[in-house]
Chains A and B, each alone.
Chain A
Amino acid sequence: MSAVFEQIFQVGFLAAIIRIATPLAFATLGEMFSERAGVLNLGIEGIMLLSAMAGFTAASLSGSLWLGVLVAVLVGALMGALHALFTVALGLSQHVCGIGVTLFCSGLAYFLYRLIFGQQSVPPSIGGFKPVPIPLLSDVPILGPAVFNQFTLVYLAIIAIPLAAFVLYRTPWGLSVRMVGENPRAADSAGVSVIATRFQAVILGGALMGLAGAFLTMAQFNAFTFGVVSGRGWVAIALVVFGRWDPWRSAGAALLFAFVDALQLRMQASGLGHIPYEAFLMLPFIFTIVAMAFMSRNAVAPSALLKPFRREER
């Protein structure tokens, strides 16, 4: 048994957790900003896919990975704006629009990818980001090679979590976001533009989803496949709820999910096939559904989630 544990908990295991958690952390923070402003973005799955594809294409055609990241972020922000246009400006139903955005973005990603790269038996790949060791810190035993010898995007995710918490809880804009998500009427009376704030939050959220997509095709897999996102967007939706709409808790939830996922991958690789790996992949969804049942009693969700705001209607 101890041999099995050794096989599972190597240094590489910790590094794998961090890498699996990174795109989830970006996506979860993105969804969280959107939902804190009162806008559920079910377009996340499609936005991640389209950004992943756009970033990969830009990087592959230009040879510049950072240009790819920039394109992915811009595409994510643009699609966030599209979702905001429908749900915030026009006040259409958020869940149906979200599904529409996901269908539209996924379709567009498949279409453009096939148009640009054609049908190839082996999907084209790029030389993705290389790990950048941080001097001194990367020499710390165990933690060093796992956490401080990673892609720059991983460091960005680690910085993004406290930054998101700071922006949400300590800046005037963060206060506006929370106000328009909790009580848009009061925010409006206090002179906060509900429409503008929601637009900004959903666009920022889209940009973060774009970063998540960029990480998948430029650091994790270095290629675009039609299943590259494969439900990670839905996982992020679950993690936001599980993390109670808080940046720290959401990121913690992403880390927990990544741990389970990495464990599952290790167990598969080590031939411990007694428990089907799908059982692990199901866990975050089941946990979240159960957690929602318990949490609903103390109503932690933003009060105005799913509710469009129209100033003239009272």
Chain B
Amino acid sequence: MFRLEGRTSTPAWFNLALPLVAIAATLILCSGLIAIAGAGVVEAYGVMISASLGDSYAITETLVRAAPMIFTGLAVAIAFRAKFWNIGAEGQLLAGAVASCFVGAIPMPGYLAMLLMALVGAAAGALVALVPATLRVKFKVDDVVSSLLLNSVIYYALMALIEGPWKDTFSGYPISPPIEDSANFPVLIEGTRLHLGVVVALIAAPLCWFLIARTTLGFRIRVTGENPEAARYGGINVQRVLLSTALLSGALAGLAGVGEVGGVHFQVMSDISPGYGYSGIVVAMLARLNPLGVVPAAIFLAAVMTGAEAMSRATGVPAFLSDVIQGTALLAMLVALLFTAYRIRRVGAQT
């Protein structure tokens, strides 16, 4: 007989082992779909890896795609640390994109435009995240549902803008007018799309780690999440911590939108985010809510996305495999996390 037993602490190597186990399980499960599609599993995964990480150009493309997921991953990780259940990173991203696009379209010196885009985009995301947090703090409204529903509100607001007053008169398509050329984020390596925003994302991760692990606010966030009663007893204003967390989380998700506008699309369209906000949840869970882990987790998902397109061209397996991998990885990680709370112990047959 085996029995599940509670566990109070986990060895440090779990942090690395669990996501790897989850990813391995995901790739094994999804290889069934590759086989159903009539392609060689080894070949398909091989193409995926070489097309996403095989040469320097592929790596830059993967990093460009990872950048928004690093931001949304950080947004979710920090929010979940405080047990502020922010499912709204998608809407916060869109708000950041819209706000920064407005600013970027105003003629002004490039560096100033970029700075303002980041500030305004982050502020817009923070403002959106403040809604579910305020509702929870003031009215005890469940933040899961309110933050989720807000995604649809923001999405329709964006659609109303780009199909209405903000429609690009030049192209006539439901897209916003482009931002000023001078506001386009500088490309760091000639001939690639690697833009300044990617570097900002890579720097943001250690900064967030420092904030969570080494600052007073970070300590308050962790205590609030782990034991709100103890936090209150220790004189922490839990409500204020939740609001601060929401602002921080929303700002990070907003920056994901800023990067997509300033560095990739240079305008806003309805599909500016292929669900990066939801991917942020996958990233944060794979990272075990550790900001440093967010970077490799986001790069993994980005590699799967870029790789899947090349795999589709080479083998005919639909590129949507990457969406299945994303969902499976999240579920596999959740199951793997059970091992942090429980251990399987062999017990005598007589029990």
Interface residues in chain A, defined as those with a beta carbon under 8 Å from any beta carbon in chain B = 40, 42, 46, 86, 90, 92-93, 95-97, 99-108, 110-111, 114-115, 231, 234-235, 237-238, 241, 276, 278-279, 281-282, 285-286, 288-289, 292-294, 296-297, 301, 305-306
Contact = CB atoms under 8 A, between A and B. Distances in A.
Nearest to B318: A114
Which of B164, B321, B327: most chain A Cβ within 10 A? Answer: B327
Contacts of A92: 334-335, 337-338
Interface of B: 33, 36-37, 85, 87, 131, 135, 138-142, 144-146, 148-153, 155-157, 159-160, 163-164, 275, 278, 281-282, 285, 318, 320-328, 330-331, 334-335, 337-338
A115 B319 CA distance: 10
Contacts of B285: 96
A41 B16 CA distance: 30
Which of B85, B139, B141, B335: most chain A Cβ within 10 A? Answer: B141
Nearest to A240: B145
Contacts of A110: 318, 320, 323
Contacts of B33: 111
Nearest to A281: B156
A276 B335 CA distance: 44
Contact of A104 (B146, B151, B331): B331
Contacts of B282: 100, 103
A296 B142 CA distance: 9
A293 B141 contact: yes
A107 B281 CA distance: 16
B231 to A, nearest CB: 20
Given A278-B157, A282-B153, A292-B142, A86 B148 contact: no
Contacts of A235: 152
A42 B160 CA distance: 26
A286 B334 contact: no
A278 B156 contact: yes
B281 A276 contact: no
B152 A282 contact: yes
18 contacts: A42-B148, A86-B334, A90-B335, A96-B281, A103-B327, A107-B327, A108-B324, A114-B318, A115-B37, A231-B152, A278-B159, A278-B163, A289-B131, A289-B146, A292-B146, A296-B140, A297-B139, A301-B142
Given A93-B334, A104-B328, 17 more contacts: A96-B330, A100-B330, A102-B327, A103-B282, A103-B327, A104-B324, A107-B323, A107-B325, A115-B37, A234-B151, A276-B164, A285-B150, A285-B153, A289-B141, A292-B145, A296-B141, A306-B142
B330 A99 contact: yes
A237 B334 contact: no
A101 B139 contact: no
Contacts of B157: 278, 282
Given A276-B164, A292-B141, A293-B139, A100 B148 contact: no
Contacts of A46: 327
A237 B149 contact: yes
Contacts of A86: 331, 334-335
Closest 5 CB pairs of A and B: A107-B323, A104-B327, A103-B327, A107-B324, A110-B320
Contacts of A95: 85, 87, 144
Contacts of A292: 135, 139, 141-142, 145-146
A107 B153 CA distance: 24
A104 to B, nearest CB: 3
Contacts of A115: 36-37, 318
B142 A100 contact: no
A55 B323 CA distance: 21
A99 B338 CA distance: 18
A301 B140 CA distance: 12
A278 B167 CA distance: 14
B153 A293 contact: no
A64 to B, nearest CB: 24
A96 B155 CA distance: 21
Contacts of B320: 107, 110-111, 114
A106 B142 contact: no
Contacts of A102: 278, 327
A306 B320 CA distance: 31
A111 B33 CA distance: 9
Given A42-B148, A231-B152, A278-B163, A111 B335 contact: no
Contacts of B139: 292-294, 296-297
A99 to B, nearest CB: 5
A293 B135 contact: yes
